[in-house]
Amino acid sequence: MKFAKFAASALAMAAAASAADARDQVQITGSSTVLPYATIVAEAFGENFDFPSPVVEGGGSGAGRKKLCEGVGETTVDIANSSSRISQGDLDLCATNGVAEVMEVRIGYDGIVFASDVNSQDFAFTPADIYLALAKDIAKDGALVANPNKNWAEVNANFKDQPILMFVPGTKHGTREVFDTKVVEAGCKETGAYDLFAAAAEGDEKAKKAAAAKACMELRTDGVSVDIDGDYTETLARIDADKNGVGVFGLSFYQNNTDKLRVATMGGIVPTVDSIAKGEYPVSRPLYFYVKRAHLGVIPGLKEYIEFFVSDDMAGPNGPLAAYGLVSDPELAATQKMVADETPMGALN
Amino acid sequence: MTVAATNPMPTPPAKATHSLLVPNAAMGRRNAAEKRFRAYGLAAIAVSLSVLGIMLWSIFSDGLSSFFQAKLTFPVTLSSEVLDPAGNGLREEMTKVTTIGYGKLLTAAFTAELAAKGISTEGVTDKQLAEMISKDAPGVLRAKVLGDTSMLDQTITMSVLAAGRIDGYLKGRVTMETAERDGNISPEQLQLADRLKTARILGSSFNTRFLTSPDASDQRPEAAGLGVAILGSAYMMLLVLIICVPIGVATSIYLEEFAPKNRWTDLIEVNISNLAAVPSIVFGILGLAIFINFAGFPQSSSVVGALVLSLMTLPTIIIATRSSIRAVPPSIRDAALGVGASKMQTVFHHVLPLAMPGILTGTILGLASALGETAPLLLIGMVAFVDNYPSAPVEGFMDPATALPVQVYSWASRSDPAFIERSSGAIIVLLVFLVVMNVTAIILRRKFERRW
């Protein structure tokens, strides 16, 4: 009896406390690629400011942006991390739910690297190699045929004899989009398969292009290309189990596991923070976070956190984020000014 | 064999063709069948024990090392020139010096100590030398100095964490060979670590911070701890207890002792049994919709986690409580009613105390399964990086927190290999809690159990 009374009063007190107290820490959600960078900043923020450290959640770019657009108020998140740009659909959702203004902050670039077991051969890939290894249909003597390649030596005579086995990020990952457009589609065009797909498609010029791009991205389903829906740790474990595997990783993940992985060059360029910053290494993408402008000045520490994130001490070329594998944005100064002025993002172009 | 089983004795024997004392073929087959069955049973037990053994071995061999941590010990002079540029000793002014400033001070002190002890730093650049100290150390020193500004200009002996790779070297995870290929450590740094160890600057000690510190970012696995997760789990278990026991016990007593047996109570019973079988992720979705979006409870807070886990635990507790109430013999009730007790008095003075051991056991087992639950917490924002301890109850129930199984999951997906050890270490802590709870349940049952 006493117990029940105590329980009821405890719950009532808890509910009252939630109504009275404003949330005093920043809530962040979104991309698991941006997550490690956000935690590094959140931790340093907690150490150096009198505000509590923000709470950072993973879960994926798309899910994070949807959460951001759920509405305005303390029970909604303040920042969505994203490894791809926000879409018009997200912005429309934001507008319907009363999230009028969103700030877009680009924090830098992330490289996507191909790596195999540390004792395997040195791969020097081109997008065409990847396409010939993984595509469902490839061009052969001017005609489309089902991909017959089973061995890297068949793909490119420069490679040593090794069965093809590739671990690519699953379709829910933002990384997959970059892999598709910058590697698979590029390889498709290089090998001439794109033109064959376009010729085979029906409709006007635009429809043909769309059909060809779609056909290019179809990967083979005979077990040679394996989709990994988990994290990079899963890809690493798969390569550990089957030494023939080649995996797709983020640059920062590779840099933390150089003792287990051997990185492949792409188009002759070794992926490093430097070569990505210069734009030489082709497979990279910008990383963003999106801030709910209505929460600035309401949630304590929000403005300070985003200013701290883009400061030279953090996101600059010598900061801890660059040390972890983020490629610093050459236009960081413009971003800093944008954040200081609290400029909301314009329409998507 | 079936012939022997259904027709053991041929009808009517004129003469006994065989005796039970003389083995024959049918009996041989039956004995062999029994032997085979025993062998199958033994094999099944052996398989499950060996699987358990392999699991425990892999967890303990990976995880035990997380309870020990490499530390560097050297004197640091807290120069007021660096830490208090304004020169007035005011805390507000001193907060302007960031951890970067403190980091430089630590590195300088470390270098000076090496020079004083005559330890050669051959082949190690200044930057690499600085990287041997954990990135966590400047923050610790800053918090210490800001906590007591009178320490300025004193020389104190700091014991700070060594970087994750150095720690890995002492534990055998990092070797000279891996260091050759590792971008974050060089063999020269490891050789220096050997010299530091001989000079007793570098040493390994029991890692209390693993149990008390909050989580740390990917750059400092050596500083990551379970403090917030243990607190969060404790808060949630407390709340689950407060919510579930009164509701569960009241429901059970009503259903067992007072409710009429009709279609409605049957329906309720079926539903309770069904609820116990609902996958836990469903409760997470429900929790997000009701407790966060509708009721407006804060995200990632232990109160929401506890409410969701309560939904999951309630059916277990109700089922256990009802069966232990049912196990109280009717003669007790009859006797109580016979001497003039009311129905309510019968229940609360006689039935409930006798059913208590069973209720406690059921509750503890329900809590143990709630303690290990991750899936529903995924959806209510508890799988997160939380760097601040939740404050004391009751307000602390509203603060963001994580839970033990969640910490295992999020460490397992980090990129630095040092987190594998942390993850297994967290599993050990979780297992210890579970074993303690289950043993308590067994002891309570043994102690208070009554046979009728």
Residues of A in contact with B299 (CB under 8 A): 27, 55, 75, 77
Contact assignment for B99 to A323 by CB distance below 8 Å:
no
B394: nearest CB among A13, A118, A257 = A13
Contact assignment for B388 to A313 by CB distance below 8 Å:
no
One-letter amino acid for residue B382 of the chain: M
The pLDDT averaged over each successive group of 10 residues in chain A (349 residues) is 51 46 82 90 91 89 88 88 89 90 92 91 90 88 85 89 90 81 89 85 83 87 87 90 91 88 91 87 91 91 93 89 88 91 83
Which of the four pLDDT bands, split at 50, 70 and 90, describes residue B1?
Answer: very low
Tell me what the pLDDT averaged over chain B comes to: 89
Nearest chain A Cα distance for residue B236, angstroms: 13
What is chain A's Cα-based Rg? 23
Q: Tens digits of per-residue pLDDT, A181-239?
A: 889 998 988 888 888 888 888 888 888 888 888 888 888 888 889 998 878 888 999 99
- How many residues are recorded in chain A? 349
Domains of chain A: 2-109+285-341 (3.40.190.10), 121-244 (3.40.190)
Which of the four pLDDT bands, split at 50, 70 and 90, describes residue B258?
Answer: very high
B182: nearest CB among A25, A46, A258 = A258
Judgement on whether residues B95 and B169 belong to the same structural domain of the protein: yes
Q: Which are the contacts of A170, defined by CB distance < 8 A and separation ≥ 6?
A: A176, A227, A228, A229
Instruction: Give the pLDDT of residue A108.
Output: 92
Q: Which helix (H) or strand (E) holds A14?
A: helix A2-20
Peptide bond into A226 cis (omega under 30): no
Judgement on whether residues B367 and B436 belong to the same structural domain of the protein: yes
3-class SS at A77? coil
Q: Which are the contacts of B128, defined by CB distance < 8 A and separation ≥ 6?
A: B186, B188, B189
Number of independent structural domains in chain B: 3
Q: Is there a domain that residue B353 lies in?
A: yes
Residues of A in contact with B394 (CB under 8 A): 10, 13-14, 17
Residues of B in contact with A230 (CB under 8 A): 413
Question: Residue B244: which CATH number?
Answer: 1.10.3720.10
Q: Which two tokens stand for residue B290?
A: 């009701």
| Calpha distance B151→B173 (Å, rounded) | 38
Residues of B in contact with A260 (CB under 8 A): 417
Q: Is there a domain that residue B185 lies in?
A: yes
Report the residue of chain A nearest B288, measured CA to CA.
A75
Q: Which domain holds residue B51?
A: 2-8+23-63
Which of the four pLDDT bands, split at 50, 70 and 90, describes residue B311?
Answer: very high
Judgement on whether residues B154 and B199 belong to the same structural domain of the protein: yes
Q: At A18, phi and psi to the nearest 5?
A: -70, -35
A229–B contact, CB cutoff 8 A: no
One-letter amino acid for residue A232 of the chain: Y
Instruction: Give the pLDDT of residue A22.
Output: 64
Q: Are strands A124-125 and A327-328 parallel, antiparallel or unpaired?
A: unpaired
Nearest chain B Cα distance for residue A8, angstroms: 8
Contact A135, A225 (CB under 8 A): no
Instruction: Give the pLDDT of residue B433.
Output: 94
Q: Is there a domain that residue B305 lies in?
A: yes
Q: Is there a domain that residue B13 lies in?
A: no
Instruction: Give the pLDDT of residue B419.
Output: 92
Nearest chain B Cα distance for residue A7, angstroms: 5
Judgement on whether residues B142 and B275 belong to the same structural domain of the protein: no
Neighbouring C-beta atoms of residue A331, cutoff 10 Å: 10
Report the residue of chain B nearest A40, measured CA to CA.
B217
Q: Is there a domain that residue B163 lies in?
A: yes
Nearest chain B Cα distance for residue A342, angstroms: 24
Contact B240, B309 (CB under 8 A): yes
Instruction: Give the pLDDT of residue B2.
Output: 46
Mean pLDDT of B349-368: 91
Judgement on whether residues B312 and B418 belong to the same structural domain of the protein: yes
Q: Which helix (H) or strand (E) holds B233?
A: helix B227-253
Residues of A in contact with B245 (CB under 8 A): 3
Q: Is there a domain that residue B218 lies in?
A: no
- Give the count of alpha carbons within 13 A of A50, CB side only: 8
Judgement on whether residues B52 and B79 belong to the same structural domain of the protein: no
Chosen domain end from B179, B207, B235 = B207
Residues of A in contact with B298 (CB under 8 A): 18, 23, 74-75
Nearest chain A Cα distance for residue B385, angstroms: 5
Give the residue from A5, A35, A47 with the most B CB atoms within 10 Å of its CB, the best one to mutate: A47
Burial of A313 (0-12, 13-18, 19+ CB in 10 A): middle
Judgement on whether residues B156 and B296 belong to the same structural domain of the protein: no
Strand partners, B326: none
Instruction: Give the pLDDT of residue B3.
Output: 47
Judgement on whether residues B58 and B101 belong to the same structural domain of the protein: no
| Calpha distance A61→B154 (Å, rounded) | 49
Residues of A in contact with B220 (CB under 8 A): 43
Which of the four pLDDT bands, split at 50, 70 and 90, describes residue B37?
Answer: very high
Judgement on whether residues B202 and B101 belong to the same structural domain of the protein: yes
| Calpha distance B443→A65 (Å, rounded) | 50
Q: Tens digits of per-residue pLDDT, B96-113?
A: 888 888 998 999 999 999
Judgement on whether residues B197 and B247 belong to the same structural domain of the protein: no
| B44 has pLDDT over 60 | yes
Q: What is the largest CA-CA distance in chain A?
A: 85
Which of the four pLDDT bands, split at 50, 70 and 90, describes residue B8?
Answer: low
Distances (CA, A) of B48 to B42, B55, B62, B267, B412: 10, 11, 21, 38, 25
Nearest chain B Cα distance for residue A139, angstroms: 38
Q: Is there a domain that residue B195 lies in?
A: yes
Nearest chain B Cα distance for residue A89, angstroms: 22
Mean pLDDT of B119-133: 88
DSSP code per residue over B279-330 = -HHHHHHHHIIIIIIIT-PPTTBHHHHHHHHHHHHHHHHHHHHHHHHHTS-H
| Calpha distance B99→B78 (Å, rounded) | 14
Judgement on whether residues B44 and B109 belong to the same structural domain of the protein: no
Contact A223, A167 (CB under 8 A): no
Judgement on whether residues B347 and B385 belong to the same structural domain of the protein: yes
Contact assignment for A324 to B299 by CB distance below 8 Å:
no
pLDDT greater at residue B249 or residue B9: B249
Q: Tens digits of per-residue pLDDT, B164-188?
A: 999 999 998 888 888 888 888 889 9
| B7 has pLDDT over 80 | no
Residues of A in contact with B416 (CB under 8 A): 256
A39: nearest CB among B174, B218, B298 = B218
Q: Is there a domain that residue B330 lies in?
A: yes
